[in-house]
Chains A and B, each alone.
Chain A
Amino acid sequence: MHTGHRMGLHGIGIALALLLAAPAIAAPADMLRIGNGPEPETLDPHRAEGVSAGNIVRDLYEGLTAIAADGSAVPAAARSWSISADGRTYRFELRDDLCWSNGEAVSAEDFAAGLRRSVTPATGSAFAQMLAPIRNASAVIEGRLPPAQLGVSAPDARTLVIELETPAPHLPGLLSHPSTFPLHRPSLRVHGAAFARAGRLVGNGAYRLEQWVMQSHVELERSSCYRAPAAIARVRYVVTEDIHSELKRYRAGELDVTYEIPPVQAAQIRRERPQQLRVAPYLGVYYYGLNLTRAPFAGAPGLRRALSMVIDREVIAEKALHGLALPAYGWVPPGTAGHTPQRPEWAQWPYARRVAEAQRLYREAGYSDAAPLAVEIRYNTHESHRRVATVVAAMWKQTLGVQVRQVNEEFKVFLHNRRLREATQVFRAAWMADYDDPSSFFGILHSAHGKNDSGWRSARYDALLAEASATADAHARALLWQQAERRIFDEVPVIPIYFYVSKHLVSPRVRGWTDNLLDYHYSKDLRLAQ
């Protein structure tokens, strides 16, 4: 009887504890639940564009290489590779134990087919240009050659040969990108472009697609045929469009990882969950582009430099963005492989000296207190863009007397205007690297690049880029990148403002999470604590 009484109390205690303390949903022991931002637009590796889609696709497929925790490219589907003396031919040896999730063997030809599909215009890849170093890629993208002419071949089932136009030391890193993933050709034949769905998608990754509930979640299950079965049996990528709701769901124990954190709550999270907050440098730059095709910035490098000099990036990163950013004076984020971060000389000066020099340049450009520069900062409607624009406008006003009008536009209208280069003067822009190499950042300011919304045309800069691309020697190449970056400092077609950071909350039950510059986290490398 005594025992029974104790049991009863015990039971009530447990029930109470469960009712009061336990979250409404107990964390499933074998499922990792990841907040993944917006709905992925597709899970087709060659068409996927957004971060949300990329995260899932890297679990469903495996590239020739993968990105290790330190950011370097390591063998994945390829066991090893060798490079020709001129750096223009890569020979990849595939592993023997590769299989598609339906049990079929993966061959080198599947990888060749994937690359060919990515550069075929009708596929509609947003990353086709990234593959330009491969021989004939540009001609295929432009429709001048058939995809079969792409410089990739599979002499046998286990060997893939990639020939390059120019030595591209970053090729192994590039081959961890979804747009280079293999293609399961029978799926494409049967289902056409709609093969990337639950019940149809055949991947070669550590997970297979179990369920896709639009606007809710994508659920993956450990692939039984992958060579080293993943530790976590199931992974659920949850659509989390509202960052505040995502945080609440994390705090309620319904998510193990968040897509990001609301900046306004950063201080509170740092205080309450310092161990769970993972903030790390990310390969992305936030900048203001200047429209060089029109007044007032056409032919006015001095004025452009003046505007850049008086922006105190530390204040923006710390105050306006709650410390969730790194001040950017250079163009390429710190940590980018093969690059020594550069800064304009004035970035070392005390702020007062910067202001004095900027005022001189401003006057030299023909402006004064009596005849101040009037300029528009244009951005797409978003709280953080508004905050940055307000701070920059205040800095320009206080130091130079510039009169700034802030114009916010709905995203598509903004993109349209930015591209037209008619209405824009100063415009917000950002670039996230697709692979860890300086060329990813420098390329977008090339006069022929579609993202060069400043309309900057510098023959010298373009020549430096071409030379760097053609240079196999890592040291010589690095020096050329540095020269290119200094051209940007001299001519100021863009004003870098901050470098992005990745910002996640990661539950203590998730083990093996490593911060990295590309923010890649393969689920197969994670474990769940019991």
Chain B
Amino acid sequence: MPYLIRRLAAGIVTLAVLLTLTFFMLRAAPGGPLDRERSLLPRIEAAIGAQYHLDEPLWRQYLRYVAGVARGDLGPSFQYEGYRVTELIAAGLPASALLGACALIVALAAGLAVGIAAALRAGGVLDRLLMAATLLGVSVPSFVVAPLLILLFALHLGWLPAGGWRPWDVSSLLLPVTALALPHVAYVARLARGSLAEVLDSPFVLAARARGLRTPRIVLRHALRPALLPVLSYLGPAAAGLLTGSVVIEQIFGIPGVGRYFVQGALNRDYTLVLGVVLLYGALIVVLNLIVDLLYGALDPRVRPA
């Protein structure tokens, strides 16, 4: 229990540092939220700036912002007039999280299946084929994969929609989930294959074989658990990334998630929006890393916290 509290306290400190650095780095970037192609008249720009307290000294703006965050208010968006950042994130997170969770499940299930199959035939033809395929999966970016999927399944075959978001309609999820999951499937497969092949070579597996245990039992009961450790440490940050959306996938498929806010917010100098999504992402990383560490302990007694 003290371990958990210690970790959570450390997490809050991490987030506070992250927030502070992001706040001041954003302000250091040239250009501001009110710079537009169609420039505002000085008097009008000053009036809007005052509404956002941009006329105050930076330290006061910072304190104002931190006080807001403490109250659970992430401030007004600069870009989307009349909307609070909290509202924007609350509206976008479900879509990103649903998409990310589906992709995570696919990545884990398909990645492990491929990894196990390859590890069992380590060095064989199947292993080489699968690993070549995963290398492709890791190296081809999603902005290439996604349009190809749309061309094939939406335009050529006409089976699935080319874009749009209908959460109740599985067909609108298939392509984005596939595009989002593919690189992770490949990564998980390579990690699982590598560590499982290593574990299968270890003395305790040899001993198990000597006792006449069959391969499926050896893999599932004995070898998989230690082999999962590297996969698990990969999954923590990967899950945080997946759940908070992908700007590429969201733009290509027209999905109303929060992923695009990372990029859009930064480009628009929407200070509060960027801080909001950075905070969200940071918090998820902290929480997921904690979960990963706890699971680590469950999988491997040697790293169990005292």
Name A residues whose Cβ lies closer than 8 Å to a Cβ of B: 19-25, 39, 41-42, 44, 47, 49, 121-126, 128-129, 141-143, 193-197, 213-216, 238-242, 244-245, 248-249, 251-252, 254, 410-417, 419, 430, 450-451
| Known contacts A44-B81, A450-B42, A451-B38, A249 near B91 by CB under 8 Å | no
Task: Determine whether B241 belongs to the interface, using a CB cutoff of 8 Å to chain A.
Answer: no
Q: Which of A39, A242, A412 contacts B29 (CB 8 A)?
A: A412
Number of A-B contacts (CB under 8 A): 166
In the complex the two chains form, is A197's CB within 8 Å of B80's CB? no
In the complex the two chains form, is A24's CB within 8 Å of B38's CB? no
Contacts of A248 in B (CB 8 A): 147, 150-151, 154-155, 162-163
Bound complex: CA A97 to CA B101 (Å):
53
| Known contacts A122-B51, A238-B164, A245 near B155 by CB under 8 Å | no
Known: A124-B47, A142-B43. 13 other contacts (CB 8 A): A123-B44, A215-B257, A242-B252, A245-B162, A245-B163, A248-B147, A248-B154, A248-B162, A249-B163, A249-B164, A410-B31, A411-B31, A415-B39
Task: Determine whether B61 belongs to the interface, using a CB cutoff of 8 Å to chain A.
Answer: no
Task: Determine whether B30 belongs to the interface, using a CB cutoff of 8 Å to chain A.
Answer: yes
Closest approach, in angstroms, between the C-beta of A26 and any C-beta of chain B?
11
In the complex the two chains form, is B82's CB within 8 Å of A213's CB? no
A-B contact pairs, 27 of them (CB 8 A): A20-B157, A25-B164, A44-B81, A121-B46, A123-B44, A124-B47, A124-B48, A126-B36, A126-B44, A141-B44, A193-B82, A194-B83, A196-B82, A213-B91, A215-B250, A239-B254, A244-B252, A245-B254, A248-B150, A248-B151, A249-B163, A249-B164, A252-B150, A252-B158, A254-B164, A412-B32, A450-B41
Bound complex: CA A481 to CA B30 (Å):
37
Which among B41, B44, B47 has the greatest number of chain A C-beta atoms within 10 A? B44
In the complex the two chains form, is A238's CB within 8 Å of B39's CB? no
In the complex the two chains form, is B254's CB within 8 Å of A216's CB? yes
Closest approach, in angstroms, between the C-beta of A57 and any C-beta of chain B?
13
Closest approach, in angstroms, between the C-beta of B166 and any C-beta of chain A?
9
| Known contacts A128-B41, A238-B254, A245-B252, A215 near B260 by CB under 8 Å | yes
Task: Determine whether B193 belongs to the interface, using a CB cutoff of 8 Å to chain A.
Answer: no
Bound complex: CA A413 to CA B150 (Å):
35
Within 8 A of A (CB), among B56-93: 79-83, 88, 91-92
Name B residues whose Cβ lies closer than 8 Å to a Cβ of A: 29-32, 35-44, 46-48, 51, 79-83, 88, 91-92, 147, 150-151, 154-155, 157-165, 171, 250-257, 260, 267-269
Bound complex: CA A41 to CA B81 (Å):
6
Closest approach, in angstroms, between the C-beta of A243 and any C-beta of chain B?
10
Bound complex: CA A20 to CA B83 (Å):
43
Contacts of B165 in A (CB 8 A): 213, 216
Contacts of B79 in A (CB 8 A): 41
In the complex the two chains form, is B82's CB within 8 Å of A242's CB? no
**Overall SS of chain B's interface:** loop
Q: Which of B36, B37, B43, B256 contacts A121 (CB 8 A)?
A: B43
Q: Top 10 A-B pairs ranked by shortest CB distance?
A: A412-B31, A194-B82, A216-B256, A215-B256, A252-B162, A121-B47, A416-B31, A42-B81, A124-B48, A450-B39
Closest approach, in angstroms, between the C-beta of B25 and any C-beta of chain A?
14
Bound complex: CA A215 to CA B79 (Å):
13
In the complex the two chains form, is A413's CB within 8 Å of B31's CB? yes
Bound complex: CA A514 to CA B124 (Å):
65
Q: Which of B38, B41, B83, B155 contacts A49 (CB 8 A)?
A: B38
Contacts of B92 in A (CB 8 A): 214-215
In the complex the two chains form, is B47's CB within 8 Å of A126's CB? no
Q: Which of A193, A216, A244 contacts B255 (CB 8 A)?
A: A216
Contacts of A24 in B (CB 8 A): 154, 158-162, 171
Bound complex: CA A412 to CA B32 (Å):
7
Contacts of B260 in A (CB 8 A): 215, 241
Nearest CB in chain B to that of A245: its residue: B252
| Known contacts A122-B51, A194-B82, A410 near B267 by CB under 8 Å | yes
Contacts of A23 in B (CB 8 A): 154, 158, 161
Nearest CB in chain A to that of B47: its residue: A121
Q: Which of A39, A238, A251, A412 contacts B155 (CB 8 A)?
A: A251
Closest approach, in angstroms, between the C-beta of A99 and any C-beta of chain B?
24
Bound complex: CA A248 to CA B43 (Å):
44
Contacts of B38 in A (CB 8 A): 49, 126, 451
Bound complex: CA A194 to CA B76 (Å):
11
In the complex the two chains form, is A412's CB within 8 Å of B82's CB? no
Nearest CB in chain B to that of A38: its residue: B264
Closest approach, in angstroms, between the C-beta of A461 and any C-beta of chain B?
20
Q: Which of A122, A123, A245, A430 contacts B37 (CB 8 A)?
A: A430
In the complex the two chains form, is A412's CB within 8 Å of B163's CB? no
In the complex the two chains form, is A39's CB within 8 Å of B35's CB? no
In the complex the two chains form, is A22's CB within 8 Å of B158's CB? yes
Q: Which of A25, A244, A451 contacts B161 (CB 8 A)?
A: A25
Contacts of A245 in B (CB 8 A): 147, 150, 162-163, 251-254
Closest approach, in angstroms, between the C-beta of B156 and any C-beta of chain A?
10
Contacts of B155 in A (CB 8 A): 248, 251-252
Bound complex: CA A24 to CA B81 (Å):
35
Closest approach, in angstroms, between the C-beta of B167 and any C-beta of chain A?
10
